[in-house]
């Protein structure tokens, strides 16, 4: 067993050949978990490697993607949005058109299929806004697996619609009453469940966070987004895009969108972080823009912590971006300079929500609205011949109550 302390890596150009066998993305990632989980993580790493190398596994997953999810999702030229910006042509990767309305289903189905392969009979998951919970409940219904979803009490209150959907699909939603009663506490509680149930239970984590192999595995399942978008851009535009934009909370849709472009050096990659209502601690969740290097939820990455290593409270108008950590590969991309991360405020995201609704007849999720807002800023500064591809990671139906509340309206 050999290791060096985190914090002493040489910065090189970003590679797509990460992580290494120890789960390192440059210096980031790895495993900081109780010994009780180590064997399960080693086992999962091996099982996933076998599945990755098995054509049958890919065949089954591709078949589900095509017939159950409705993939490939379209790459759509947003003509009126482009005209409004008066700059680059804006294309939207329509993950909002997937079954269950967001990109989360890609990962949930991949991991559920893996659960069946591993012959584990029970699934647990955490959820913040509820999109990953709904996706996991859906995948479990498809495979006939019992499913428990941990969800913060505060999020349950904010996202009643998704709670109802999960229960209707047959999942048990367990309220989490500890700590901040939001996503990070739901992850803690799911990890605690897993500590005691690891023999017969798989934990379908919802983002590119947590200990190795989760960040790598979730990225790979989500990479279908970027692979499709890259090919669609070549087919529809005739060349690669100039810039690719996605929102970053934990970072799963963005990791899946960016990863297939990492070694296309001509393509600029931009992440939109939840800038909330200010730059002070507690007012935002822009982990990469304002955070420090640290350990959270089993992984070494950028985090929002105080000087003692205690996790700070976060805020975003979007419940799905409201997370004080970020996937380790994003930290690697930040430090190598491969991806630029920009905070987008609540107000900018809400403006983009309305702009896309009115100009294109598409109601984006508040998460995705952050990416749209960043695209509106950057496309206007670009030449008319340029091409910007934005990941529209989810649809906004779930957010209408929250938008109405923020704007003082009632539904």
Partner 1 sequence: MAFMPFITAGDPDLAMTKRLIGELAACGVDLIEIGFPYSDPIADGPVIQASYTRALGRHLHVHEIFSAVKEVTGGKSAIGGDKEQGKSAAVPRSSAESSPTPVTVSPVPPLIAMVAYAIIFRIGNEAFVGAARDAGFAGLIVPDLPADEADDLAGLCGKNGLELIPLIAPTTTSDRTRRIIATARGFIYCIAVAGTTGVRDQLPPELSQQLQWLKSQTELPLAVGFGINRPAQVDELRGLADGVIVGSAIVKQVAAISTDGLAPDQSLANVATLARAMVAATHRTK
Q: List, by residue number, the catalytic residues.
A: 104, 126, 393
Among 5, 21, 55, 411, binds partner 1 (CB under 8 A): 5
Q: How far is residue 116's CA from residue 134's CA, in Å, rounded to a whole number? A: 19
Q: Is the dihedral of CA 136, 163, 394, 205 positive or negative?
A: negative
Nearest Cα to Cα of residue 241 among 272, 270, 274: 270
For residues 202 and 115, the answer to whether their CB atoms sit within 8 Å is: yes
Q: Where are the alpha helices (DSSP H) in 272-324?
A: 287-290
For residues 7 and 30, the answer to whether their CB atoms sit within 8 Å is: no
Among 72, 74, 121, 179, binds partner 1 (CB under 8 A): 179
Site residues (CB under 8 A) for partner 1, limited to 303-332: 303, 305, 307-311
Q: How far is residue 149's CA from residue 205's CA, in Å, rounded to a whole number? A: 11
The residue (of 55 and 196) whose beta carbon lies closer to partner 1 is 196
- Least separation, in Å, of the C-beta of 261 and partner 1? 31
* Backbone φ, ψ for residue 169 (5° rounding): -75, -10
Site residues (CB under 8 A) for partner 1, limited to 16-75: 22, 30-40
- Least separation, in Å, of the C-beta of 5 and partner 1? 4
Q: How many CB atoms lie within 10 A of CB 340?
A: 16
Among 75, 129, 204, 296, binds partner 1 (CB under 8 A): 296
Q: Is 200 in the site for partner 1 (CB under 8 A)?
A: no
- Least separation, in Å, of the C-beta of 323 and partner 1? 12
Q: How far is residue 56's CA from residue 273's CA, in Å, rounded to a whole number? A: 37
- Least separation, in Å, of the C-beta of 163 and partner 1? 23
The residue (of 13 and 292) whose beta carbon lies closer to partner 1 is 292
Span of 13-21, 83-91, 139-147, 287-295 interacting with partner 1 by CB under 8 A: 287-295
- Least separation, in Å, of the C-beta of 35 and partner 1? 4
| Bridge partners, residue 174, by sequence | 150
Q: How far is residue 349's CA from residue 347's CA, in Å, rounded to a whole number? A: 5
The residue (of 80 and 174) whose beta carbon lies closer to partner 1 is 174
Q: Which residues bind partner 1 (CB under 8 A)?
A: 1-6, 22, 30-40, 178-179, 184-185, 188, 191-192, 195-196, 198-199, 292, 294-298, 300, 303, 305, 307-311
């Amino acid at each position: 067993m050999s290791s060096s302390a985190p914090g002493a890596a040489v910065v090189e150009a970003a590679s797509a050949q990460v992580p290494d066998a120890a789960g390192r993305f440059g210096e980031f990632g790895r495993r900081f978990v109780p010994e009780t989980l180590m064997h399960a993580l080693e086992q999962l790493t091996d099982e996933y490697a076998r599945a990755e190398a098995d054509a049958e596994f890919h065949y089954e997953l591709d078949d589900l993607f095509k017939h159950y999810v409705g993939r490939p999702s379209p790459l759509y030229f947003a003509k009126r949005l482009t005209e409004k910006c008066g700059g680059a042509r804006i294309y939207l990767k329509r993950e909002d058109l997937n079954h269950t309305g967001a990109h989360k289903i890609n990962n949930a189905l991949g991991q559920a299929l893996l659960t069946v392969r591993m012959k584990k009979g029970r699934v647990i998951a955490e959820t913040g806004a509820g999109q990953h919970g709904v996706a996991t409940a859906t995948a479990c219904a498809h495979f006939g697996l019992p499913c428990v979803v941990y969800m913060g009490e505060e999020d349950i209150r904010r996202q009643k619609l998704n709670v109802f959907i999960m229960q209707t699909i047959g999942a048990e939603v367990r309220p989490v009453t500890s700590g901040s009663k939001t996503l990070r506490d739901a992850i803690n509680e799911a990890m605690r469940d897993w500590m005691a149930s690891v023999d017969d239970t798989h934990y379908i984590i919802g983002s590119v966070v947590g200990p190795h192999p989760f960040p790598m595995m979730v990225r790979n399942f989500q990479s279908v987004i970027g692979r499709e978008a890259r090919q669609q851009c070549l087919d529809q535009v005739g060349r690669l895009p100039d810039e690719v934009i996605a929102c970053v909370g934990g970072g799963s849709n963005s990791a899946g969108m960016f990863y297939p472009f990492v070694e296309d050096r001509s393509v600029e990659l931009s992440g939109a972080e939840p800038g909330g209502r200010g730059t002070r601690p507690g007012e935002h969740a822009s982990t990469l823009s304002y955070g420090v290097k640290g350990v959270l939820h089993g992984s070494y990455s950028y985090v929002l912590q105080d000087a003692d290593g205690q996790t700070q409270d976060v805020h975003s108008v979007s419940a799905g971006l409201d997370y004080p950590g970020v996937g380790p590969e994003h930290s690697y991309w930040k430090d190598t300079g491969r991806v630029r991360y920009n905070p987008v405020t609540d107000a900018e995201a809400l403006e983009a929500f309305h702009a896309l609704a009115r100009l294109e007849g598409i109601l984006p999720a508040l998460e995705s609205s952050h990416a749209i807002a960043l695209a509106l800023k950057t496309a206007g500064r670009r030449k008319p011949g340029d091409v910007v591809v934005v990941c529209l990671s989810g649809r906004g139906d779930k957010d209408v109550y929250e938008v109405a509340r923020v704007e003082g309206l009632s539904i």
